[in-house]
Structure 1
Amino acid sequence: MSSLPQILRAKLAATPSGRLPFAQVMELALYHPEHGYYGPGPLKIGRQGDFFTSVSVGPLYGKLLAMRALQDWQALGKPAGFTIIEQGAHDGQLAEDILSALEGHNFRYLIVEPNPAYREAQARRLDGHPVHWVENLAALKSIPLHAFFVCNELPDAFPVHLVRWNGERWEEMFVEPDGAEAFRFIPGSCSCEDLEAEVKHLPHDLTTGHVLEINLAMLAWIRDLAQSAFRGSIFIADYGLDAEEFYADARAEGTIRRYRQHQMDGHVLEDLGGCDLTTHVNFTRLIEEALRHGLLQREYDLQGRVLGRMATAWIQSLEGSPLDPATMRQFQSLTHPALMGRSFRCLILEKPPSP
């Protein structure tokens, strides 16, 4: 049985140049159906997994998103057929938390999921709930008409191209074999026109060797999302930075990292398929592309501030009654600057009716 490094070496040997853009290597390492990190099915998240997410903190995150969805539904005039759409639903835990918080409301729940193993795991968890599945965003070009779209830590897992400033121009970083077992990076010209267009807008005054990630898949994703039929809000939560923060000397090695058992390092060509690969989202570039395709920016801030504002009406409704200890711990984990409150950012876009 072939391992993922063996599969990669065969792919490299089959290419005329003997090398591949890092984006193709990252896609293989994460999404190969048998040997990719995410490919075979949902992973354990939290203390027993490789990383924490806002969802793994507890059900409060889903409750806050449910309250936001309810507010949007009311602002839209309480339309029939209102749908919550989630992409990157993993094992269905966030969907279960949102639906539990919305018990009594006749909302549809739609999950965008191309992987059959994930759909099966989600269906088991969500048995009895009004959930439907589609394979991709193209299925949303005609329905639903009103929706609240949510994704938690999705764009950071899209395969990225790596580029490096050589003191005179931006070069793409390719992957090639390094001896019998390992792999290494080698610079070259951009592998596609879309990447060439992106690097034209990058600064030319950075330190020689500065590495940046170019997430072409994220830009294609937000364009597809902008073409969907629904009217409503889009909630994107992820860890990321503004464009200027990417250019700081402190991040000259880029933000691409591998995660395993809550440990992080930059050895992204080692143990391919056996660890998570992730990169910070360039929120400046994401917002630019969203606005260019007709979406409207409603809110962009640190997660702690966004969730704190979302929780205001709910906390006021308690009329001074304290939160129970478990809920308080969850709220602090999600919003405190020393925990997830500063590490993650939230972007809320508005999608007006399709022309």
Structure 2
Amino acid sequence: MSSLPQILRAKLAATPSGRLPFAQVMELALYHPEHGYYGAGPRKIGRQGDFFTSVSVGPLFGKLLAMRALQEWRDLGEPADFTIIEQGAHDGQLAEDVMDALGGTGIRYLIVEPNARYREAQARRLEGRPVHWVESLADLKTSPAHAFFLCNELPDAFPVHLVRWNGERWEELFVESDGAEAFRFIPGDCSCGNLEAEVKHLPHDLATGHVLEINLAMLAWIRDLAHSAFRGAIFIADYGLDAEEFHADARAEGTIRRYHQHQMDGQVLAGLGECDLTTHINFTRLIEEALRHGLAQREYDLQGRVLGRMATSWIQSLEGSQPDAATMRQFQSLTHPALMGRSFRCVILEKPPGR
């Protein structure tokens, strides 16, 4: 059976130039149905996996999102078709936490999931619960009419193009075989018109060799989301930066990294298919594209501040009593600046009627 590096070398050999944009390599490494890091099914998250997420901290994250969803439902006038939509649901843990917190409210839950193996894992975890699945955002073009959309750490796993400033112009970084067992980067002209359009807006005063990630898939995703049928809020949590922060000298090598057993490095062409590949998202560019397609910005802030504000009603419900120690640890992990509170950011967008 071929390994993923063998599959990649065959693809490279089949191209006239012998090279591929990094975005295609990243997509193969993460989502190949048999050898991709995510393609074969949900990965373990937490201490026994390669990384932690807000979901792996415990159920409080889901509880806070459930409370926000209830508030959105009330603000919309409690419509009967109100649906919580999640994309990037992994093994269904966040969906379970949200529905546990909702109790018997009867609010619908919908998961956008193209991978059949993930749908099977989610269905096993959520057996007996009122959950439905669709394969893509295209399935949301006619219904529901009212929703609260949420995703946690989704756009950071979209395949990205890499570009590098050569002192005179931006070049795309392609991947080619080094003639032995490994792969290497080689610069060239942009591989598509959309990438050419993006690099036109990048600065020209950076140090020679500065690398940036261009997440064309994220821009296409937010456009699709903006053109879906529902009215309501969109909650996006991820690790990322503002555009200006990407241009700092400290990030001249880019933010693309590989993760394995809680170890991180920049050797993104090594261990393909065996390691997670991820990049910080450009929140400035994401929000800009969202506004251009009719969405409105409600909030954009560090995760600690956003979740702290979302937790206000939960804290008030305690009526002065202290939460149990485990819940308090979860709250601190999610909001403390030295933990996830600063490294993650949240944006809440609004999708008004008719968009």
- Assess same fold via TM > 0.5: yes
- For 1:43 and 1:317, the matched residues in 2 are separated by 36
Unaligned runs of 5+ in 2: none
Matched, 1:72 2:72: yes
Match of 1:198 in 2: 198
Match of 1:3 in 2: 3
Match of 2:282 in 1: 282
- For 1:354 and 1:32, the matched residues in 2 are separated by 37
Matched, 1:238 2:264: no
Match of 1:300 in 2: 300
Aligned length: 355
| 3-state DSSP of counterpart to 1:17 | coil
Contact 1:209 1:252 in 2 (8 A): yes
| 3-state DSSP of counterpart to 1:197 | helix
- For 1:319 and 1:111, the matched residues in 2 are separated by 35
1:179 is displaced (CA, Å) by 2.2
1:192 is displaced (CA, Å) by 0.1
Match of 2:38 in 1: 38
1:5 is displaced (CA, Å) by 0.1
1:63 is displaced (CA, Å) by 0.1
Match of 2:255 in 1: 255
Matches within 5 A, 1:121-160: 121-160=121-160
Partner amino acid for 2:60?
L
> Which string of whole-angstrom CA distances, capped at 9 and with x for unpartnered residues, describes residues 309-349 of structure 1?
00011101211100100100000000000000001000000
| 3-state DSSP of counterpart to 2:187 | strand
| 3-state DSSP of counterpart to 1:171 | strand
Matched, 1:87 2:117: no
TM-score (norm. length: structure 1):
1.00
Percent same amino acid at aligned positions? 86
Contact 1:228 1:354 in 2 (8 A): no
Contact 1:227 1:354 in 2 (8 A): no
- For 1:224 and 1:354, the matched residues in 2 are separated by 14
Match of 1:332 in 2: 332
- For 2:135 and 2:313, the matched residues in 1 are separated by 36
Match of 2:189 in 1: 189
1:81 is displaced (CA, Å) by 1.3
1:354 is displaced (CA, Å) by 2.2
Unaligned runs of 5+ in 1: none
Match of 1:25 in 2: 25
TM-score (norm. length: structure 2):
1.00
Contact 1:12 1:176 in 2 (8 A): yes
- For 1:177 and 1:156, the matched residues in 2 are separated by 26
- For 1:240 and 1:246, the matched residues in 2 are separated by 9
